[in-house]
C-alpha cells in the first residue's frame, strides 16, 4: 500500500506488477516484466514504484507517467526483496539469492555499497525500519540486524528452524520470524534473542511477516493462501 492506502501494488508469477485502486479494487495499470516479480514497494511520497524479481533487475516506475520506460538497475542476481532506503527517493536496496545486499544511488545508477550477509544461503527477506536506521534480514536459520547506513552488524541471532520472513518491532527491541515449520515466532533482542512466544494457525510455509506501524499487531502470509493477524506480545 502507498502511504494514504489509496493505491496497492502487487507482484506476480505471471511476470507482471500491477497497480490497483485500493478503494474500488479496480486495476489501474500493468507493468510487464521478464520473469516472476518477488518484490514491490511504493516510494514514501507514493510517486514511484520499485520492483524486483527473478530477472535480476531492479525497476523504478514513475506512477505519474506509468507508460514511460522505467529506470533499470542490474542487481547481479535474483532478487528476493527490494526497498527504498531514504525518504528523498534517492537510495534503494535489494536482497539477492547470492547472499548479498546491495545499495544503489538512483541518481548515478551505480552500486554505492554491498554486503555479503550470508555465505551458505541467499537472503530470504529484508525489511528497513520505519526511520531508515536499521535493516533486518534472514537466511537459513539466522536473523541479522544491521545499521542500514554503514552496514555495521548490530545483532545476529540463530534460531531453531530455517526461516523465510522476519520483521523488526518499531521499538527495535523485538522481532518476529516464520518459515517452513508453520509457526510464527516472537523473539526478544533485549534478552539475547530468546524466543518469548509462538503461535500456530497456518497450514503451509510462512513467506511474509510484518508488524503494524505501532507494533501492537503483526501479519503473516502463507503458502496456504491466508493472511493472519496476531496480537504482539506487550
Share of the chain above pLDDT 70, in %: 100
pTM: 0.93
- Asked if pLDDT for residue 156 goes beyond 80, the answer is yes
- The DSSP element (H or E) to which 6 belongs, if any, is none
How far is the CA of 101 from the CAs of 79, 97, 154, 160, 185, in angstroms? Answer: 10, 9, 16, 24, 24
pLDDT given at position 125: 97
- State the average pLDDT over residues 83-99: 93
- Phi first, then psi, for residue 178 (nearest 5°) are -155, 160
pLDDT given at position 192: 92
Alpha helices for 111-184 (secondary structure H) = none
- Asked if pLDDT for residue 223 goes beyond 90, the answer is yes
How far apart are the C-alpha atoms of 74 and 204, rounded to whole Å?
Answer: 33
Top pLDDT among 53 and 132 is at: 53
Contact assessment for residue 215 and residue 169, using Cβ atoms and an 8 Å cutoff: yes
Residue keyed to cell 497456518: 202
Q: How do residues 202-217 score in pLDDT, each as one tens digit?
A: 999 999 999 999 999 9
pLDDT given at position 87: 79
pLDDT given at position 230: 97
pLDDT given at position 25: 96
How far apart are the C-alpha atoms of 123 and 94, rounded to whole Å?
Answer: 9
Amino acid at each position: 500500500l502507498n502511504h494514504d492506502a489509496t493505491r496497492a501494488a502487487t507482484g506476480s508469477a505471471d511476470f507482471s506488477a500491477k497497480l490497483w485502486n485500493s478503494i474500488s479494487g479496480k486495476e489501474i495499470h500493468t507493468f510487464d516484466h521478464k520473469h516472476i516479480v518477488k518484490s514491490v514497494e511504493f516510494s514514501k511520497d507514493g510517486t514511484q514504484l520499485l520492483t524486483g524479481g527473478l530477472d535480476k533487475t531492479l525497476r523504478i516506475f514513475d506512477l505519474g507517467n506509468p507508460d514511460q520506460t522505467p529506470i533499470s538497475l542490474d542487481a547481479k542476481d535474483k532478487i528476493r526483496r527490494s526497498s527504498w532506503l531514504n525518504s528523498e527517493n534517492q537510495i534503494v536496496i535489494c536482497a539477492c539469492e547470492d547472499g548479498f545486499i546491495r545499495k544503489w544511488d538512483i541518481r548515478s545508477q551505480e552500486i554505492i555499497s554491498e554486503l555479503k550477509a550470508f555465505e551458505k544461503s541467499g537472503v530470504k527477506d529484508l525489511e528497513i525500519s520505519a526511520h531508515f536506521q536499521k535493516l533486518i534480514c534472514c537466511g537459513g536459520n539466522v536473523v541479522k540486524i544491521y545499521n542500514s547506513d554503514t552496514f555495521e552488524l548490530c545483532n545476529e541471532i540463530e534460531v531453531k528452524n530455517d526461516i523465510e520472513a522476519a520483521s523488526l518491532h518499531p521499538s527495535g527491541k523485538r522481532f518476529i520470524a516464520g518459515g517452513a515449520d508453520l509457526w510464527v515466532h516472537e523473539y526478544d533482542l533485549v534478552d539475547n534473542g530468546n524466543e518469548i512466544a509462538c503461535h500456530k494457525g497456518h497450514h503451509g510455509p510462512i513467506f511474509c511477516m510484518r508488524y503494524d506501524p505501532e507494533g501492537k499487531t503483526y501479519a503473516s502470509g502463507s503458502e496456504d493462501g491466508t493472511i493472519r493477524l496476531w496480537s504482539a506480545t506487550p
